[in-house]
Amino acid sequence: MLFSLGAAPLAGALAGLPSLALAVQGAQAPATKAQTIIEGRDRWLFPGWESLTEDDTAGCLQALDLIRKAADKLSAADIRTVIVIAPLKARAYADKLPDGMTLSPAVKGRYAALAAHAGKIGLDMVDAEAAIATVNPTDDTTFIRADYHWSARAAEANAAATAKLLQARGLFTERTGGGTRLGKWTEEISYGDLADLLPPEKKKAVGKDHFFVRQAGNNKDLLDSAPSQVQVVGNSMVQPYLGFPQKLSNAIDSLVGLTWTFGNVGPWKTLLNYLESPAFKSAKIKALVWQFNEGQMMNGPNAATQWDAASIMAEDAWLARLDKALAR
């Protein structure tokens, strides 16, 4: 069973973590697209629903412009916005793609284009590619071989980079003793979520993955009712099993809340889920960390072929709901 913290602080919730939380549902292909799997070298798998050739850079930059509009509205409410975009697995492990399959020049350069545009419009964006490059390859890969997700060490590297960016903006610069204590690293063996989408014989041939994750730390000294000053909003890349919110809490020494949904819900509706919740109305957060997947960045809130029906709305309608939520 997957574990969701909703909008709850991490302090008292980590004790309820199951040992294996990724399970099968972590990778969710859009409902209207076939769940095709790219079978690469050395039994590496990639999501076939993320194009490696189409030039969707313009759509991605338009999405960043919309994010900037949202960040401005949040800033007016004294909330700093930082975005984290999980890079494309196929770029990180292009050498594991099947023979004859390569990324187009546009896809190769897309993340750099996103980072450059974010800088141009004044949007705080973590350099996730630089962060995952700090992961020691002798410790772990940066993405899980037969799974959609980045590894726990890559998630933690991005959380650490997020903390540094928040601190560079003058937030959480003092140690208060309110952060999550990190547990020891442990190894779990299970099928990756992409392997689970294969026919049984192929799944068996691909084999199980080694998931290096942390045990839940000892947080009994943290107050369960203490308010979070940072809220992480995203998809399964930031679920507790991979450790992003715990590492962020540890790095800024402050409680962190979490709202995450599966990728088919989409980042736009997931943000509304939090901002329209009673938890946000009663909270006094200083920062919001909003996580995206690069492979979905070209899809705005009105992307009918990408999101669940309840998540699809016009941009103006989405901004209106954002305004209403912030005005409560």
6-63, pLDDT tens digit by residue?
Answer: 333 443 334 334 334 443 345 555 544 446 999 999 999 999 999 999 999 999 999 9
CA gap 7, 277 in Å, rounded: 8
Which of 260, 243, 249, 203 minimizes the C-alpha distance to 226?
A: 249
Cα end-to-end span (Å), the chain:
34
Q: What are phi and psi of 305, to 5 degrees?
A: -90, 0
**Domain extent for 87:** 58-137+151-181+223-327
Looking at per-residue pLDDT, the higher value among 14 and 89 belongs to 89
pTM: 0.91
Q: What DSSP letter does each residue of 186-248 carry, written as one string?
A: EEEEE--TTGGGS-HHHHHHH--EEEEEEPPP--TTS-TTPPPSEEEEESGGGSGGGTHHHHH
Per-residue model confidence (pLDDT) at position 223: 41
CA gap 129, 72 in Å, rounded: 25
The predicted model gives 240-258 an average pLDDT of 97
- To the nearest whole percent, how much of the chain has pLDDT over 70? 87
Lowest mean pLDDT among 32-41, 147-156, 240-249, 271-280: 32-41
CA gap 117, 12 in Å, rounded: 39
Question: What is the number of residues in the chain?
Answer: 328
The predicted model gives 56-76 an average pLDDT of 98
Per-residue model confidence (pLDDT) at position 114: 99
CA gap 192, 150 in Å, rounded: 11
Residue 3 lies in a domain: no
The predicted model gives 92-105 an average pLDDT of 98
pLDDT at 5 over 80: no
Residue 177 lies in a domain: yes
* Reported confidence tier of residue 213, pLDDT bands at 50, 70, 90: very high
Residue 195 lies in a domain: no
How many Cβ atoms from other residues are within 10 Å of residue 167's Cβ?
A: 14
Give the pLDDT confidence of 169-180 residue by residue, as tens digits: 999 999 888 999
Per-residue model confidence (pLDDT) at position 27: 55
The predicted model gives 128-136 an average pLDDT of 98
pLDDT at 292 over 60: yes
Count of domains forming the chain: 1
Per-residue model confidence (pLDDT) at position 217: 72
Q: How far is CA 107 from CA 44, 126, 306, in A?
A: 20, 19, 19
CA gap 300, 202 in Å, rounded: 35
CA gap 243, 305 in Å, rounded: 30
Per-residue model confidence (pLDDT) at position 35: 66
- To the nearest whole percent, how much of the chain has pLDDT over 90? 83
Which of 59, 53, 51, 58 minimizes the C-alpha distance to 298?
A: 59
Per-residue model confidence (pLDDT) at position 284: 87
Residue 32 lies in a domain: no
Residue 44 lies in a domain: no
Per-residue model confidence (pLDDT) at position 296: 96
The predicted model gives 179-186 an average pLDDT of 96
**133 CB-near residues (< 8 Å, 6+ apart):** 142
Q: What DSSP letter does each residue of 73-131 carry, written as one string?
A: HHHHTT-EEEEEEEPPHHHHTGGGSPTT----HHHHTHHHHHHHHHHHHT--B--HHHH
Residue 46 lies in a domain: no
Question: What average pLDDT is seen over the chain?
Answer: 90
Q: Tell me the three state secondary structure of residue 268.
A: helix
pLDDT at 157 over 50: yes
Q: Are 188 and 234 in contact (CB under 8 A)?
A: no
Per-residue model confidence (pLDDT) at position 328: 86
Q: Quick one: angle between helices 315-327 and 267-275, nearest 10? A: 20
293 token code pair: 């997947």
Residue 307 lies in a domain: yes
CA gap 313, 309 in Å, rounded: 9
Per-residue model confidence (pLDDT) at position 176: 86
144 token code pair: 């899980």
pLDDT at 224 over 60: no
Give the pLDDT confidence of 251-281 residue by residue, as tens digits: 999 999 999 999 899 999 999 999 999 999 9
pLDDT at 160 over 90: yes
